């Protein structure tokens, strides 16, 4: 415990966001850098509890009190060594994770929890800036070749782990660039794509081979043919089938799935060209109150929307922890993101009944207040459906329905192995197995699946496996 009185001396202080008027005009990351003194003061708030519930709250099992103590002392090499031992990509989770560790922080019983997520970010950024090791490089080759299908967080984590013990790894990605949702799903104001490119350069330097524009399944390389090229396959294709709304007018022009909109926006930012789906001067209606809806909100602000209305079908969550959800459980609380600070209107317990328009183009939406039963009509030039995802696209992958769960995800055994595979075993992990979830779970499952693959190939227990598959998968 670096400073026994730190949690008494220093209040919680996260990074300061850039002014709203400024950040709505660009795509740079929202938060300003904290000073070294402020970072170390925040690390000093960690109490190094006898039972670190923060570590238990993290699917990766990050050694949070240990790297916090090292950060407080300014020993960034020690902090980085501890953090990278359990998390392949803290530069991603430090920006994107909703931090279940902070909900489990003991200090949160009577005070604001430690800024664990931001300290993770600071540790990762110090590691890169100081030239510290950010990935384990293999000392010798095993001669085994593993194919990873999908280059999102789960696929990249599996690839990094498998390469670290000497396996040849080739990552196949159906999109034209590597990164999965990190590339085209997450807006640049939350994750600057230079951060992604920096990590991909590390993986390439370590020997991981990337093949973008290489779909696996019907229309691309058949899964059976891929199996014949390698010793094992890992499917990390994510949950990409979006939940659509079966209501009147859903097929009108101007009604888009959120990911269609976000991908177009990310491509436009990357190329400097106009977006194919642009919110400029539009009355934007966002259906869905989660992170994806918030990403659409922030993107619409930056594109110059005339107005933005975000709807959630569920009631408004409480602002503070309810009495029936005592620490250290993670409560469902009202979440205010940086995008909500930038403007727009947010409403809860609203059902969307139909979209209306003329000449095949949406112009209005008919809504119902679930609390009062009252109906109303609102303007809607652009509708973005952020209603979540059902599971992976098994048809595009060529996976028979017999190998799916009741949740439309890929069924795996307790060792992450699917029922697929002929000449080589096929494993699966991430949202393709769990269903839509958090980046930290994707990384944890990628690491665990990699451990299972390595154990199958070598008969040794050389890699950590922080989590098990959902019981419903096996």
In this prediction, residue 50 carries a pLDDT of 87
Dump the DSSP string for 326-353.
-TTS--------HHHHT--EEEESEEEE
Vertex 210 angle, CA 208 and 212, to 5°: 170
375-379 and 361-369 strand pairing: antiparallel
In this prediction, residue 332 carries a pLDDT of 83
User: What is the Rg, in whole angstroms, of the alpha carbon atoms belonging to the chain?
Assistant: 23
Give the distance, in angstroms, between the CA of residue 57 and the centroid of all CA atoms in the same chain: 17
Dump the DSSP string for 41-97.
HHHHT----SS-HHHHHSTT---HHHHHHHHHTT-HHHHHHHHHHH-S-HHHHHHH-
In this prediction, residue 361 carries a pLDDT of 98
Each residue's pLDDT tens digit in the chain (474 positions)? Answer: 678 999 999 999 999 999 999 999 999 999 999 999 999 999 999 998 889 999 999 999 999 999 999 999 999 999 999 999 999 999 999 999 999 999 999 999 989 999 999 999 999 999 999 999 999 999 999 999 999 999 999 999 999 999 999 999 999 999 999 999 999 999 999 999 999 999 999 999 999 999 999 999 998 999 999 999 999 999 999 999 999 899 999 999 999 999 999 999 999 999 999 999 999 999 999 999 999 999 999 999 999 999 999 999 999 999 888 888 878 777 788 888 999 999 999 999 999 999 999 999 999 999 999 999 999 999 999 999 999 998 999 999 999 989 999 989 999 999 999 999 888 999 999 999 999 999 999 999 999 999 999 999 999 999 999 999 987 665
State the fold for domain 244-387. Answer: FAD/NAD(P)-binding domain (3.50.50)
Distance in angstroms (rounded) separating the CA atoms of residues 214 and 114? 43
Dump the DSSP string for 208-264.
-EEE-S--BSTTSB-HHHHHHHSSEEEE-----EEPPP-SBTTTSBTEEEHHHHHHH
In this prediction, residue 321 carries a pLDDT of 83
Nearest to 334 by CA among 321, 323, 351, 352: 321
Distance in angstroms (rounded) separating the CA atoms of residues 236 and 154? 6
- Rounding to the nearest 10 degrees, give the CA dihedral for residues 157, 162, 164, 167: -150
In this prediction, residue 474 carries a pLDDT of 59
In this prediction, residue 327 carries a pLDDT of 82
Distance in angstroms (rounded) separating the CA atoms of residues 242 and 265? 18
Q: What is the pTM of this model?
A: 0.96
**Domain range list for the chain:** 6-129, 145-240+390-473, 244-387
Residue 437, both tokens: 């979830």
Count the helix, strand and coil residues of the chain and give each as a percent rounded to the nearest 5.
35, 15, 45
426-428 and 232-235 strand pairing: parallel
283-287 and 382-385 strand pairing: parallel
Distance in angstroms (rounded) separating the CA atoms of residues 322 and 326? 7
In this prediction, residue 375 carries a pLDDT of 98
The reply to whether 6-129 and 244-387 are identical in fold is no
In this prediction, residue 473 carries a pLDDT of 62
What number does CATH give the domain 6-129? 1.10.1060.10
In this prediction, residue 472 carries a pLDDT of 64
| Contact call for residues 370 and 391 (beta carbons, < 8 A) | no
What number does CATH give the domain 145-240+390-473? 3.50.50.60
Distance in angstroms (rounded) separating the CA atoms of residues 473 and 428? 11
């Amino acid at each position: 415990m670096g400073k026994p009185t730190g949690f008494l001396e220093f209040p919680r202080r996260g990074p300061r966001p850039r002014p709203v008027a400024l950040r709505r005009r660009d795509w740079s990351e929202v938060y300003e850098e904290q000073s070294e003194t402020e970072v170390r003061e925040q690390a000093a708030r960690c109490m190094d509890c006898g039972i670190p519930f923060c570590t238990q709250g993290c699917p990766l099992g990050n050694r949070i009190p240990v790297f916090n103590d090292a950060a407080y002392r300014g020993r960034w090499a020690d902090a980085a060594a501890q953090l990278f031992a359990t998390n392949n990509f803290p530069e991603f989770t430090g920006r994107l994770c909703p931090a279940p560790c902070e909900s489990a922080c003991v200090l949160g019983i009577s005070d604001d929890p430690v800024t664990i997520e931001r300290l993770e970010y600071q540790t990762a950024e110090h590691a890169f800036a100081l030239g510290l090791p950010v990935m384990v490089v293999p000392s010798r080759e095993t001669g085994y070749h593993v194919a990873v299908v999908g280059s999102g967080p789960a696929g990249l984590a599996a690839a990094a782990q498998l390469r670290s013990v000497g396996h040849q790894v080739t990552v196949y990605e159906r999109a034209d660039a590597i990164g999965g949702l990190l590339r085209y799903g997450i807006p640049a104001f939350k994750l600057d794509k230079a951060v992604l490119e920096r990590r991909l350069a590390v993986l390439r330097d370590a020997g991981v081979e990337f093949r973008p524009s290489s779909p696996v399944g019907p229309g691309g390389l058949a899964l059976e043919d891929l199996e014949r090229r390698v010793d094992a396959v890992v499917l990390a294709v994510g949950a990409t089938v979006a939940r659509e709304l079966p209501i009147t007018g859903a097929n009108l022009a101007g009604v888009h799935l959120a990911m269609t909109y976000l991908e177009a926006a990310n491509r436009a930012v990357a190329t400097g060209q106009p977006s194919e789906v642009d919110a400029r001067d539009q009355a934007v209606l966002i259906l869905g109150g989660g992170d994806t809806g918030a990403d659409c909100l922030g993107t619409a602000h930056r594109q110059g929307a005339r107005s933005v209305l975000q709807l959630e079908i569920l009631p408004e969550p409480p602002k503070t922890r309810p009495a029936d959800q005592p620490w250290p459980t993670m409560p469902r609380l009202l979440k205010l993101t940086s995008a909500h600070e930038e403007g727009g209107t947010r409403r809860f317990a609203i059902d969307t009944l139909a979209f209306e328009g003329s000449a095949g183009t949406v112009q209005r939406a008919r809504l119902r207040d679930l609390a009062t039963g009252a109906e109303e009509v609102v303007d809607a030039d652009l509708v973005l459906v952020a209603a979540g995802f059902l599971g992976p696209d098994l048809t595009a992958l060529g996976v028979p329905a017999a190998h799916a769960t009741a949740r439309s995800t890929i069924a795996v055994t307790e060792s992450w192995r699917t029922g697929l595979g002929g000449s080589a075993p096929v494993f699966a992990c991430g949202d393709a197995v769990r269903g839509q979830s958090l980046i930290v779970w994707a990384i944890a499952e990628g690491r665990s699946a990699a451990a299972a693959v390595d154990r199958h190939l070598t008969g040794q227990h050389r890699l950590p496996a922080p989590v098990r598959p959902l019981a419903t998968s096996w």
